[in-house]
Copies of this chain bind each other. A is one copy, B any other.
């Protein structure tokens, strides 16, 4: 088979063809970070009653009209509302009821005068030194949500405040997309498990750990299958195991032509597995392979940890968002920052270069400092905060150019 190397945009589009994973029921306390698989509609008015938003006195607004500091209005205090209670009063002309923030207004009252504008003359008499408008300092029964109103849309990943509104509406269970399960396989005759001491020529397995953590960061579930050597049979049986266990299989290894060919041969040996992408015009990450078996995407990642992570950040982050059922409604918090480039960076045309950069703050602005180094080095990744993209039609960027830095995953999660 012969494949034309694909562009970044083509690959992103291909990955959007995969459908979101299935749905499940999730209880309210467990729903943080989960993605709604259907709209949430309010089953009731909220707060559902006329509520004071201030400490003060509930009155009929019209009885206060014209009141000023020099000419206060007099009111008769007929009682006090307690929190959480239905008040047993009816407020008539020039009558007032003491009310705390959050309590229910008594019948007859339509507004609350803040305590700051009230002077208690005696137990039954009150002076008000400022007029209020009808509805002033009052929350209407439907002010927060109306019964039947859409409160949260399908595809929303639930934030703390979203749990708040579910709680306030008494929604104890939601329908959510399942967490995508990602089978992770590391291959390579030179790769050993982390507990072993490498002999010259050997390296410890890095990708299992970086890719698992990357999955967890995206609220997905890593299924670690472990390590296998560069043999057709081993890789094939690992891959079949992954296909049976997970929603997507990520197999890293093979930055050499020989192992890449092996991975491809294994892909081609599996029935109904269709190779969609063989090579992307990017650097690093060119030897990436993408295949599909049914709705399961199989991703062949480069073996070098730094290359694999660049491919993950650029392609697998939006892919996982798609698989998770997440729809882009909110801005991608932490997706990117603007920065000035600290030095010239050359770039070969015909491919998108993803340059690792460290961010430094200078006079309040971000400076992007390119981290160069072979992609075989993990240190280039550890030293950097994100990536900049140099388009395939550009021959490079100049010092001082404004660049958008695509940040590595935000630090704050569950």
Contact = CB atoms under 8 A, between A and B. Distances in A.
A157 interface: yes
A183 B204 CA distance: 41
A212 interface: yes
A165 B382 contact: yes
Interface stretch (A14-22, A241-249, A250-258, A271-279): A250-258
B414 A303 contact: no
Given A379-B145, A412-B334, A414-B414, A83 B217 contact: no
B217 A412 contact: yes
Contact of A201 (B86, B213, B335): B86
A264 interface: no
Contacts of A103: 190, 201, 256
Contacts of A48: 198, 200
Interface in A347-366: 359, 361, 366
Interface in A68-82: 82
Contacts of A267: none
29 contacts: A29-B224, A49-B201, A82-B189, A83-B190, A83-B230, A83-B259, A101-B303, A102-B188, A102-B203, A104-B201, A115-B257, A139-B377, A159-B411, A160-B209, A160-B212, A164-B210, A164-B305, A167-B205, A167-B209, A170-B204, A217-B412, A219-B414, A331-B337, A331-B407, A334-B334, A334-B410, A410-B410, A412-B413, A413-B414
A291 to B, nearest CB: 22
A379 B165 contact: yes
A166 B382 CA distance: 11
Contacts of A335: 334
Given A82-B189, A198-B48, A168 B206 contact: yes
A55 B256 contact: yes
A168 B203 contact: yes
Given A168-B203, A172-B195, A217-B412, 12 more contacts: A53-B376, A84-B202, A100-B256, A151-B382, A152-B382, A160-B309, A161-B309, A161-B378, A168-B378, A170-B196, A333-B334, A334-B334
A258 B100 contact: yes
A411 B330 contact: yes
B374 A53 contact: yes
A55 B261 CA distance: 13
Nearest to A81: B201
A368 B411 CA distance: 24
Contacts of A391: none
B144 A378 contact: yes
A144 B377 contact: yes
Contact of A167 (B197, B208, B304, B408): B208
A85 interface: yes
A28 interface: yes
Contacts of A337: 331, 337
A97 interface: no
Interface in A86-123: 86-87, 100-104, 115
A377 B139 CA distance: 8
Contacts of A144: 376-379
Interface in A205-223: 205-214, 216-219
Contacts of A315: none
B164 A378 contact: yes
Contact of A412 (B51, B162, B163, B218): B218
Contacts of A51: 376
B102 A168 contact: no
A396 interface: no
A102 B256 contact: yes
Nearest to A201: B104
A251 B70 CA distance: 42
A412 B320 CA distance: 11
